[in-house]
Structure 1
């Protein structure tokens, strides 16, 4: 009897350990997928990125994923609820704590200012919009729609195209004094969501002006050089308030700006067998820039014939819900001895599309409703070497939406579809139909598709 109990106890323990390992693996996959999304306002530093950089404290989990402030698009009619605007719906509740002294503020002057986003997944984009709190807003109350002027002071149409990984808008910021909050909204074209970032701003007077530059970055070195790139690393700077980023210079030309937590960068696009000089400067939230680091001299190597293909993309999976005519795919990036330049997406054996080497998602469109499809992805380098195929991902498109005949005295929501005189129309604006408002008669309410 005793031996039986011991055996059963061991079995239970083994099952428990196995269950924990499976759960841990599942969570790692989920977190890895989530970490691939999506972007934040890097300059002027948003509340989230200042949390990651340590200038804001007691921030919660946002320090690990400032790129994940995602909620339904359509602000102010839709989007995150009042009181949860800063956290994009409440997933990171610490960000919704609001008072006049809770958050580090970025000094700003009214007039032209540049807002720079860092994107970890460059979605097809509808628009970029920027809102600011009203002159008489209450900084000690939760952020609500009533806190903001609901007409954006800056709205940039992006036409559904994909932005680069570093994207900037230059906007005319309205006249304000003291502490205000700017809400930046990145609206995605191919999903139902947008990304919401708040920026805590001081328009002179409420906070001491920061005129002290960071210390000089130390020990800049080149760790590896090829015919077209060189990898740089340096020691961190310090600042009386906080370093927000580093600027990498090639000679006198700015190559890029990286975040304060980044102490290395690979400069690409160089010419073979050519001498270059590099330096790095540190910057803070007030725009103060340190003196330059030591200069590193680099000579790229001669051109090497590249016959090595990239490794296969991994973790190909379907992202989000499929529609009746499209399926969105995402995968983990490949690596290459020189560099991945593009990815090819195959539907079965047919090429469905090609994206750049920095893009790891693609929406396959023009599909047939209620049909099963299988996809693979391969990676290519500049020499045309193509990797083996990724794992396959399969999905079935949804059924074609039912289209009802248009009828008077019927309520229609935006996006709903109807048939009329043999054509299909999509509702542009929610309304209740009347006789005379047939779709062919009122293009302001109905779009022919």
Structure 2
């Protein structure tokens, strides 16, 4: 059965993090520089609960739960069987599967809301949600056969750009006991998607009790572009897992249980009204605590501070023989970042706005090595140091064969193209979709 989602929401403008978490993330970024940069995750997913320290022995995913990225097209494409939870093995501990390995979110059939925290927004094709079959084996590796391969919730997004938070309320089908939900965020302008598994329990004691509101919020260290907010701990019938920080009605950040947050990237000489809400592992949110109002200081004198260097420059998706899709983590500045300069070697090839964190390089030559860097600049003309150097070799120009047809008959040696991949038939076939788990007749040739 398939149900269309009921609603979607989107919020978030500024980056906030607890001081200790920020320092730890910065130190870990050097270790993780060659991995996918930040993108997005479901807040109570297996990876999200690892980051919140509810799940244990998770490996490096605790530092970037938003980086579970693999080719899109599930179930015909996407992560391999046995590597679905880790999005093809980059964070292998997530693929450890047993009935007791992971903490579970209590759930009931019917409307349930799935909340995404999005670190880097992308133009989006769709959001899809799958659930395991009632009789799946929780002590075996997650495979396609574990799931009902018709999504119970599918939301077309038609290339729209979500905000830094996004929610879908979906009608979850009836199940009992331990089940796994697979949430898939498909990007529209690359070949990739983001995969999150959510461990849920039907028929358990559903936690509907929200934490108490945080009290005693105060502000200190107010500057032109930053301030520090602190508050007293909330209580909960099971346990508080984190806090959400709001400016007015806009959520502008979270902490993973820390009682202090360093606000950065604020606008100078501007009034802010900050409140804090507590959340628990079931997603219950408290009422807002007391409001803290302050005005950031004006910037005095000429701006001579350059933005920080962009980091984690990487290829987002797949390069072609003539194009390379670049992506990087945003820079920060004492006032604001105005734009980014993209370099091929030492040649400036493009300039994009300060809100952009990706650029498609075109006009390249097949089977050729290239070097790319990115620099940030501000309105005063200050330019950052260069990002990490990204070396890319474009693939050889590929041959495109006739598109696969479900009604055509193919013989051994016939070649077709399906979903951008070239296949060759091993023997006679008709109606078997290339790339599907049971279509062993087709082999990938490019």
Paired residues for 1:30-429 under 5 Å? 31-34=32-35, 36-42=37-43, 45-160=44-159, 162-189=161-188, 191-203=190-202, 205-206=203-204, 208-217=205-214, 219-226=216-223, 230-234=227-231, 236-251=233-248, 253-256=249-252, 258-261=254-257, 263-266=260-263, 272=269, 274=271, 276-302=272-298, 307-308=303-304, 310-311=306-307, 313-314=309-310, 319=315, 322-331=319-328, 333-347=330-344, 349=347, 351-357=349-355, 359=357, 361-369=358-366, 375-381=372-378, 383=379, 385-388=381-384, 390=386, 395=392, 397-402=394-399, 411-415=414-418
Taking the aligned partners of 1:342 and 1:371, their CA distance within structure 2 comes to 28
| Secondary structure in structure 1 of the residue aligned to 2:230 | strand
Could you tell me whether the CA contact under 8 Å between 1:316 and 1:393 is conserved in 2?
no
Is the helix fraction higher in 1 or 2? 1
In 2 relative to 1, CA 351–261 (structure 1 residues): closer, same or farther, beyond 3 Å? farther
CA apart distance, 1:77? 1.9
Q: 2:247 and 2:384 mapped to 1: Cα distance?
A: 36
Q: Deviations over 1:202-259 (max 9, x none)?
A: 34x32x23244335435533234356764423455454433233232345x2434524
What is the Cα deviation at residue 150 of structure 1?
0.6
Corresponding residue SS for 2:130: strand
Distance in 2 between the 1:416 and 1:221 partners?
54
SS in 2 for 1:413: strand
Q: Distance in 1 between matches of 2:427 and 2:158?
A: 30
Question: For residue 5 of structure 1, what is the aligned residue in structure 2?
Answer: none
Deviation of the 1:36 alpha carbon? 2.7
Contact 2:98 2:139 in 1 (8 A): yes
Alpha carbons of structure 1 residues 377 and 92: separation in structure 2 relative to 1, 3 Å: closer
Residues 69-95 of structure 1, C-alpha deviations (whole Å, 9 max, x = no match): 333432212333334322333444443
Q: In 1, Cα distance between the equivalents of 2:256 and 2:298? A: 33
Tell me if the contact between 2:124 and 2:186 (Cα under 8 Å) persists in the aligned partners.
yes
| CA contact 2:243–2:255 (8 Å) conserved in 1 | yes
TM normalised by structure 2 equals 0.71
CA distance in 2, matches of 1:62, 1:28: 12
Question: Do 1:71 and 1:193's aligned partners in 2 also have CA atoms closer than 8 Å?
Answer: yes
Q: Structure 1 pair 169/367, CA: closer, same or farther in 2 (3 Å)?
A: farther
Higher Cα Rg, which structure? 1
Aligned length: 391
- Is the Cα contact below 8 Å between 1:310 and 1:335 reproduced in 2? no
Residues 302/430 of structure 1: CA separation in 2 closer, same or farther (3 Å cut) = farther
Secondary structure (helix, strand or coil) at the match of 2:417 reads coil
2:38–2:67: 8 Å Cα contact kept in structure 1?
yes
Cα deviation for residue 39 of structure 1 reads 2.6
Tell whether the 8 Å contact from 2:37 to 2:67 is kept in structure 1 after alignment: no
Q: Normalising by the residue count of structure 1, what TM-score does the alignment of the two structures yield?
A: 0.70
Once the two structures are superposed, residues 379-410 of structure 1 have per-residue CA deviations (whole angstroms, 9 ceiling, x without a partner) of 233x464515626656554443346799x966
- The structure-2 alpha-carbon separation of the partners of 1:161 and 1:29, relative to structure 1 and needing over 3 Å to count, comes to farther
Q: Give, in angstroms, the shift of residue 324 of structure 1.
A: 1.4
Once the two structures are superposed, what CA deviation does each residue of 1:273-296 show, in whole Å capped at 9, x if it has no partner? 54x442212011234333543432
Distance 1:191 1:108 in 2: 33
What is the CA–CA distance in structure 2 between the aligned matches of 1:102 and 1:135, rounded to whole Å? Answer: 19
Alpha-carbon contact 1:36-1:120 (below 8 Å) kept: no
